[in-house]
């Protein structure tokens, strides 16, 4: 069994393939136990700071419930409360760690959470930054495993903006031995250093994964098992929305694109979805869409992570 006690989760690049398997196995076991109302609070008496510098529905609710299930007291804060009034990151963290045993943070610059982790003596969990969304991808990998039976060798095509989700899907796919194809317009590719990191992970651990970039979504999804999309304008990019809608014309996941995937392919989206932009109703509401399984699995993946690190 992997010993993850005290570990940070800033990006999935922090994990080994064995760490990832340990989290997914724990998540599935706790999910089944949860369904049988057989909850085991493992961290009674501990507290968690859940800090959201950006809006959240799924992440906030699922972390609060994960804490409740584990016997951990969640304290939710917004930008008014933490990192406000010119208080330094150092001072904020030193105060928080006198109260809580884990810090969960959603913020803008990834360097912000890196600074938090540098100062913190308690584990830090990335609840989304501009560059990564590891908790979502833990849930997504659990969802793919449930629907496809395994992860290694699965072909996943991501269509849209090369953003935080893309980066985490590439890193998670690399750890899990998946074939990840990313189709973006020119100029919206994922960061080259993250592509390199994912390829290094695949090579270092010999997972058999591949990472391929495309500009043509129709080529990217050909015969794939999983089609993924995400918003074209992430939180913090609202002012670019109109320009991005133009740039991403042709990148909508519609039924004709899904027809090019394997006939048993599933559709995934971390939500919130912008229906009529990156995905059409006919796809997100289709029987092959697993978007609400992904949302549910946020709870199970994050509860597993907290139970392993606390
Ligand atoms: N998918 C996701 O992280 O949703 P929220 O932004 O609502 O937390
Ligand atoms: N890429 C999106 C994900 C939302 C969960 C964003 O950062 O807004």
**Best of 53, 110, 182, 234 to mutate for ligand 2, by most ligand atoms within 8 A of CB?**
234
**118-161 residue pLDDT tens:** 999 999 999 999 999 999 999 999 999 999 999 999 999 999 99
* DSSP string over 185-228: -TT-PPPHHHHHHHHHHHHHHT---EEEEES-HHHHHTT-SEEE
**Best of 164, 167, 170, 273 to mutate for ligand 2, by most ligand atoms within 8 A of CB?**
164
Fold adopted by 134-295 = Rossmann fold (3.40.50)
3-state secondary structure at position 122: coil
Strand partners, 267: 227, 289
Ligand 1 site, CB within 6 A: 56-59, 128, 136, 270-271
Residue 39 has pLDDT above 70, yes or no: no
Residue 9 has pLDDT above 70, yes or no: yes
C-alpha of 62 from chain center: 13
Q: How far is the CA of 57 from the centre of ligand 1 (A)?
A: 6
Residue with CA nearest ligand 2 atom 7: 234
Q: How far is the CA of 55 from the centre of ligand 1 (A)?
A: 8
Ligand 2 neighbourhood includes 234 CB (under 6 angstroms): yes
Q: Using pLDDT thresholds of 50, 70 and 90, give the confidence band for residue 68.
A: very high
Residue with CA nearest ligand 1 atom 1: 270
Q: Using pLDDT thresholds of 50, 70 and 90, give the confidence band for residue 101.
A: very high
**Architecture of the CATH domain 12-132+298-309:** 3-Layer(aba) Sandwich (3.40)
Q: Could you tell me the two tokens for 268? A: 């995934």
For residue 184, what pLDDT is reported? 98
Q: What are the strands, taking DSSP E only, across the chain?
A: 47-52, 73-77, 102-106, 124-126, 155-159, 179-183, 210-214, 226-229, 266-269
Using CA atoms, how far apart are residues 270 and 167, in angstroms rounded to an integer? 13
For residue 289, what pLDDT is reported? 98
Q: Using pLDDT thresholds of 50, 70 and 90, give the confidence band for residue 174.
A: very high
Instruction: Verify cis geometry, omega within 30 degrees of 0, for the bond prior to 272.
Output: yes
Chain region(s) in the chain for CATH 3.40.50.1370: 12-132+298-309, 134-295
Q: What is the mean pLDDT of the chain?
A: 96
Q: How far is the CA of 206 from the centre of ligand 2 (A)?
A: 30
Residue 94 has pLDDT above 90, yes or no: yes
Residue 1 has pLDDT above 80, yes or no: no
Average of per-residue pLDDT across 21-40? 85
For residue 144, what pLDDT is reported? 98
Q: How far is the CA of 234 from the centre of ligand 2 (A)?
A: 5
Q: Using pLDDT thresholds of 50, 70 and 90, give the confidence band for residue 37.
A: low
Residue with CA nearest ligand 2 atom 6: 234
Average of per-residue pLDDT across 38-63? 90
Residue 42 has pLDDT above 90, yes or no: no
Q: Using pLDDT thresholds of 50, 70 and 90, give the confidence band for residue 167.
A: very high
Q: Using pLDDT thresholds of 50, 70 and 90, give the confidence band for residue 40.
A: low
Instruction: Quote the pTM value.
Output: 0.97
Using CA atoms, how far apart are residues 215 and 185, in angstroms rounded to an integer? 5
Average of per-residue pLDDT across 212-230? 98
Average of per-residue pLDDT across 37-41? 65
For residue 38, what pLDDT is reported? 60
Q: Using pLDDT thresholds of 50, 70 and 90, give the confidence band for residue 218.
A: very high
**250-282 residue pLDDT tens:** 999 999 999 999 999 999 999 999 999 999 999
More confident call, 221 vs 38:
221
For residue 44, what pLDDT is reported? 81
Question: CB-based contacts of 256: which residues, under 8 Å, 6+ apart?
Answer: none
Looking from the CA of residue 59, the nearest atom of ligand 1 is 8
Q: Using pLDDT thresholds of 50, 70 and 90, give the confidence band for residue 34.
A: confident
Q: How far is the CA of 223 from the centre of ligand 2 (A)?
A: 27
State the catalytic residues: 106, 133, 136, 230, 270, 298
């Amino acid at each position: 069994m992997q010993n993850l006690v005290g570990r940070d989760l800033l990006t999935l690049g922090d994990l080994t393939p064995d760490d990832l398997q340990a989290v997914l196995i724990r998540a599935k076991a706790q999910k089944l136990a949860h369904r049988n109302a057989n909850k085991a609070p493992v961290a009674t008496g501990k507290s968690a700071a859940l800090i959201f510098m950006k809006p959240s529905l799924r992440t906030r609710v699922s972390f609060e419930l994960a804490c409740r299930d584990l016997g951990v007291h969640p304290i939710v804060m917004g930008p008014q409360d933490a990192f406000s009034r010119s208080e330094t990151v150092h001072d904020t963290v030193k105060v928080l760690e006198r109260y809580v045993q884990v810090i969960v943070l959603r913020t803008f610059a990834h360097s912000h959470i890196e600074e938090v982790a540098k100062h913190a003596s308690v584990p830090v969990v990335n609840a989304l930054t501009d560059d990564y969304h590891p908790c979502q991808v833990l849930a997504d990998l659990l969802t793919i495993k449930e629907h496809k039976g395994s992860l290694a060798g699965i072909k996943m095509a991501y269509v849209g903006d090369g953003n935080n989700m893309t980066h985490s899907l590439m890193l998670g796919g690399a750890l899990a031995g998946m074939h990840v194809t990313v189709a973006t317009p020119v100029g919206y590719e994922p960061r080259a250093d993250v592509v390199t990191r994912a390829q290094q992970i695949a090579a270092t651990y010999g997972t058999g994964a591949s990472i391929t970039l495309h500009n043509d979504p129709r080529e990217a999804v050909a015969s794939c098992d999983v089609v993924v999309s995400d918003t074209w304008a992430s939180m913090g990019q609202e002012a670019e929305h109109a320009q991005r809608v133009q740039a991403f014309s042709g990148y909508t996941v519609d039924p004709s694109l899904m027809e090019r995937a394997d006939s048993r392919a599933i559709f995934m989206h971390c939500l919130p979805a912008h229906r009529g932009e990156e995905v059409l109703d006919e796809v997100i509401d289709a029987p092959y869409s697993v978007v609400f399984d992904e949302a549910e699995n946020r709870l199970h993946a994050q509860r597993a992570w907290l139970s392993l690190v606390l």
